[in-house]
Amino acid sequence: MSATSVAKALTPPDIVARKGQAPLVCLTAYTTPVARIADRHCDVVLVGDSVGMVLHGLDSTLGVTLDMMVMHGKAVRRGIEHALMVVDMPFGSYEEGPAQAFRSAARLMAETGCGAVKLEGGEAIADTIRFLTARGIPVMAHVGLTPQAVNVFGGYKVQGLGDSAARILADAQAVAEAGAFSVVIEKVAEPLARAITTKLAVPTIGIGASADCDGQILVVDDMLGMFTQFQPKFVKRYAELGVAADAAMAAYAKEVRERSFPGMEHVYTGPAKAPSP
């Protein structure tokens, strides 16, 4: 989208107004070039704390810092004109309570220019969401499988089976009632995700949830196939860029070793000039 485009940037109220309407398209982004592409197609671009695993090689999102989120948020903001940009609050930046959460969220919004922040958790953080929204900070909530609590869950397991379904429904209702403008539902049983979507007045955004959610989100590197080994069941690969990149690098290495690259078309020619004595 050009700088002269008349389309305005989307806001949290715009997202709320999409409840039950055309599905919301959401992807993660961590860099300016990817953000520019995502902005052409998405309603929401999330600077996810998944950046720790995707770009920094961490085993989980727990090692992601506020400084990292600010850095990547600034990069993504340079590529966004239309989509609502949301930034994840990393582990340890809001769990102490509303005051800590406000300081962290205020820094993210001031330094990155994002339109909202995202917090993981349910009833336990409802008061924090209420505190933030009352002070002008829009919040996207996240229930079901919350990766920052992966050690509590004992791994990246499907949620909402058996007795946990009632808890997840209560979590979703609590964060919505506290003022969250949308709720991400991750890796939960499909019937539960559908039921939550029906009950909430705000949009739900599924990831490994249900096609009946009000929108969908994926980690961009997952759906582009940047990883050749890791593929969760809920990820559809729309490309295999990891395979293509591996083949391209192999071809480059071969040509360098056999001195067929660079060719004459890749170098600069001109009259030979002897070096000065």
244: left (phi over 0), alpha (psi -120 to 50) or beta: alpha
The alpha-helical segments, DSSP class H, found in 42-80 are 51-54, 66-77
186 is catalytic: yes
8 is in an annotated binding site: no
Is position 39 annotated in a ligand binding site? no
* C-beta atoms surrounding 139 within 10 Å: 28
Name beta bridge partners: 205: 184, 215
Cα distance from N-terminal residue to C-terminal residue, the chain: 55
Burial class (CB in 10 A: 0-12, 13-18, 19+), 88: buried
Consult the annotation and say whether 50 binds a ligand: yes
The whole-angstrom separation of Cα 199 and Cα 206 is 15
Residue 118, marked binder = yes
- Selected catalytic residue, list 111, 123, 177, 186: 186
Binding residues: 49-50, 88, 118, 120
Active site residues: 186
Name the binding residues for 3-methyl-2-oxobutanoate.
49-50, 88, 118
Annotated binding site for Mg(2+): 49, 88, 120
